Amino acid sequence: MLQSNKKLKAIDFFSGAGGLTYGLRMAGINVIAGVDNDVVCKETYERNNPGAIFLDKDVTKYSPKELQKDLNLKKNDDNLLLAGCAPCQYWSIIHTSKKKSQKTKNLILDFQNYVEYLRPGFVLVENVPGISSSKKGGPMNSFIKALKKLGYRFNDFHVVDMSEYGIPQKRKRFTLLASRVVEVRLPAPLKKQKTVRDVLGSHNGFSKVIAGTKDSTKKMHTAAGLSQKNIERLEMTSKDGGDRTVWQSKKSHALACFSTDKKKFSDTYGRMWWDKPAPTITTKFYSISNGRFAHPEENRGISLREGATLQTFPKSYEFISSSTADIAKMIGNAVPPEFAKILGKQIVESAGIKAKKYV
């Protein structure tokens, strides 16, 4: 039976740099550990989430029994939440190599092993929309059947657009909340969306910088370098949502890769709009050739901190690495903390537990 006088505790599987962990802690859930085999994330995770430990483990080799022993867990703990946001490149609609991501194709089923063994009171899953597609053999259907067999209740599970929950980017994700002790529903969307203007720009503390700026402070307002040709391309690109169509027809600046199809990957080299949510922040958001990641008016891609802000990380969140690519990967792969907070609050309220913030 759920004990309302006790605090909810959680384990964050595939935790990365700790976006989900941080959000759950803001909601009043005590995250005791993050589990991930990308050790690059360890220092960032533990620095920003004191009290939570980072377990450098591969869930395909690390058994539920070992986890139980390492964290002193009990089976059938009604006050335990297992959260699983597995790497999901294989099922993503973004054009990535399926061969490279084959090994992570069914990590949700490895997460299922932990749920079946521990039978926690609550389960949270967030993943790309494609993972729930039965037509493509997505593993989520098998996971949902297993939850039902174990007695978990969930009134709805579907793809949500995080821009409808106050996250300043269009980020669609399959989201599921389940419990075997209480009724729990996905939260209702908010009425007002946040836009790029709401969080970026000089009025939000982001000074103007040029491409190639390296910010060694914790603020990390670092912008990737650009060739002179790409700077010229951005100079010709209309501010506030402009795209490459202006210069793609100019022989001096046209890109050969788009010569046969001007609509192919139409967002690449494009600018964000001030008064719309940003596009999905990916692991390559610092590169203008990988999406609509150019600043709305400055001739550069968005900075590392701007990407983190669009992901709703607070400016105090420290990303620890000497590699721009590693930091961008940590940011792009994360569950936006503010969305995690919303999910966490939904669980806390459903459980009827008085929450205590852990951040």
- Residues annotated as catalytic are 88
Paired with 10 in beta bridges are 31, 81
**Rounded CA Rg of the chain:** 21
Cα–chain-centroid distance for residue 183? 26
Do residues 137 and 128 touch, judged by C-beta distance below 8 A? Answer: no
Cα–chain-centroid distance for residue 98? 20
| Continuous H helices in the chain | 19-26, 42-48, 64-71, 107-118, 140-149, 196-199, 228-236, 245-248, 304-310, 324-333, 337-351
Helix 19-26 and helix 337-351, axial crossing angle in degrees, nearest 10 = 40
Structure-block tokens of residue 33: 């550990």
Positions of E strands within 249-325: none
Would strands 80-84 and 9-13 be described as parallel, antiparallel, or unpaired? Answer: parallel
Q: How far is CA 143 from CA 60, 111, 132, 291, in A?
A: 16, 9, 10, 32
